[in-house]
Structures are given as C-alpha cells and as structure tokens.
Amino acid sequence: MLLGRTTQGQQLSYSDSIQALAFGNIATSSVESSGDVWLNITGFAEKELPHLQTVVGIHSLDNARELHVIANLAQSAASQALWGDLVFLYNVFSMNAYPAYADVTTAQMQAGLLDAVSGENGPEEGLIELYASTSSASSLGAAYRALTSQYNNQQQSKATSLSPVAAEPTMTTTAAVDKREMDYSRNQIICSAAHVAVGAACIALLGRIRVDGSWKSGGPRDICYEGCCISWSANATFQIENLYNDAQRCYNACLNVSGGVSCEAYNVSLQGTIVNQCLSNRPNGCA
C-alpha cells in the first residue's frame, strides 16, 4: 500500500496526504523498490525559499516508489504556493521517506525545518510565519511556530552536542568540523551532531551493501536504506561493497549514547578515486 490511498483503495486528497505525513503515516509497499529518484527545488523566488534551492537525488534500496509519490506531492505544493508543505515534503524526501522521521515531532524533521528557516543569525520570523501559514496540516504549522523556542533551547544546551573524534590518535576541534577543512590526515573520521541517523537503520544499510558487488557510477552520489544514507563527495566508479569498511568504521567511532550516528570519513579510496564519505540520515552528507 503506497502513500496516497486509503485502506479501501480510494485516492487520498492532497490535504489528507499532508495530514497523514505530518503524523509519520507513510504506508509503504510490502515489496521493496529500488532505483534513482530526483527532486528539483530550484528557480523559486528568494523571498519564498531563500535557504532551499537545490536538486536532490536518492538511490534508494527500498523506497523508490514512495519517493516518487513524495516528489509528485512536492510538485503539487509548489504549483499551489504552499511553501510550508514544500519545505516539509523536501525533508521527507531527503530522508528516504522513512516513516520514523516524517512525523513533525521528531528531532530529524525539526532539524530539517529549522535549517530551512534559519539565516546567519538564527530563525527568521518572517519565514516561519510564511511557512506556517502555507501548511496544509495544523500540526505542521505548529511545528514551524515552535522552531524559535527550540532553537533558543539548543543554544542554551550547546555544551551537550557531540564532540568530534578521530579514528586515529589525534583529535580534531569543533571548528574544523564546522569548516569541513580539507587537510585532514588519511583515514580520519569526524563525528557530527547534524543529520543524525538511527543506528539500527544504518546497521540494516550496512548489511545490504556488505556483499553487493554491483557497480555504481555517477549520480546520485548516495545509497539509502530505511533511515540511513551513505554519500560521497565526488563522482567515482566502484563496486558498492567498497563503501562498507569506512561506513562501518564511521559507525563504530561515532555511535552516540542515544543510538544515533552521523559521521564523515576523509580520504576514502573507492577503487582508485579519493573521496570523503558520510553516514547520516540524508543523501547530501552529514554537515
């Protein structure tokens, strides 16, 4: 059963679909679907989407059909100028349509919404009100309006953020993590507090790629399964199983006490091409 239909097989309305998604209700198919799916959010006015003008591609091992449904809903949202819905759907899409992240009360979704309304000085009240007033679900509108207080709470508790660690004996400063400087020593791993994936989902993804000898080339430069993605920084041609070792090292080094993980391994060799490789809840890295 795919999102967009009731249990009786009737087509859900657009509004009902957003309402269902906002509560994390994604009725996935009983049969996994794999493939590349793209979402293009570009060409919109800066006043509407100042922090979100991008093209996202996902190579999903399980939710390609669901991602197509989300992309179609995003197209409908854009055509109706429902900017709050569009930002929300972008985040659902970017997390592989994983039901556990779609609920607007989850930390993963709230982090995505906060990114979309935040400039250099934090949340922008004008954007928050724009997105709240163009949301088709009341719970989504409420989630937008709660972002400022959530941001303030985060600022007060910054000391509890994950500290970066290195797989080798040296440590790396938080500033280096933020700047993503390129002069790291070989095989270094940096943990991140951003785009944290559920550890169990990453274990499932690692299990899928461990003995996958199929070849990957070009974009999308990511592979996602359930709520976890591996992504890499440059085009490469390689067998998928080559992602496993550094993804496993990342997981081992950076799994946090809450069972989440987000990390980046530097100077990874994918059959001759040197890249940086991320393990997180999104296809576009862990920063």
pLDDT tens, residue by residue, 216-243: 999 999 999 999 999 999 999 999 999 9
- What's the pLDDT band for 265 if we cut at 50, 70, 90? very high
Indicate the domain borders of the chain: 14-155, 161-280
pLDDT of res. 100: 94
Residue 205: C-alpha distances to residues 224, 269, 281 (Å): 7, 20, 11
- For residue 11, give the nearest of 21, 20, 22, 3 by alpha carbon: 3
> What is the distance between the alpha carbons of residues 53 and 57, in angstroms, rounded to a whole number?
14
- What's the pLDDT band for 80 if we cut at 50, 70, 90? very high
Tokens of 30: 């009983």
Higher pLDDT, 113 or 178: 113
Higher pLDDT, 89 or 168: 89
pLDDT of res. 26: 83
Quote the mean pLDDT of the chain: 88
Q: Which runs of E-coded beta strand occur in 133-272?
A: 189-191, 197-198, 215-217, 222-225, 228-232, 237-239, 260-261, 263-270
| Residues 6 or more apart whose Cβ sits within 8 Å of residue 107 | 196
129 CB burial (10 A radius; 0-12, 13-18, 19+): middle
Cα angle 5-9-15, degrees, rounded to a multiple of 5 = 30
Q: Is the pLDDT score of 274 beyond 60?
A: yes
In this structure, what DSSP letter does residue 81 have? Answer: T
Amino acid making up residue 277? Q
Higher pLDDT, 146 or 26: 146
Q: Tell me what the mean pLDDT of segment 241-268 comes to.
A: 97
- For residue 263, give the nearest of 150, 157, 152, 184 by alpha carbon: 184
**Which sign, positive or negative, has the C-alpha torsion 12, 16, 21, 23?**
negative
pTM of the model: 0.87
Higher pLDDT, 184 or 26: 26
Lowest model confidence (mean pLDDT) among 71-75, 150-154, 214-218, 279-283? 150-154
91 CB burial (10 A radius; 0-12, 13-18, 19+): buried
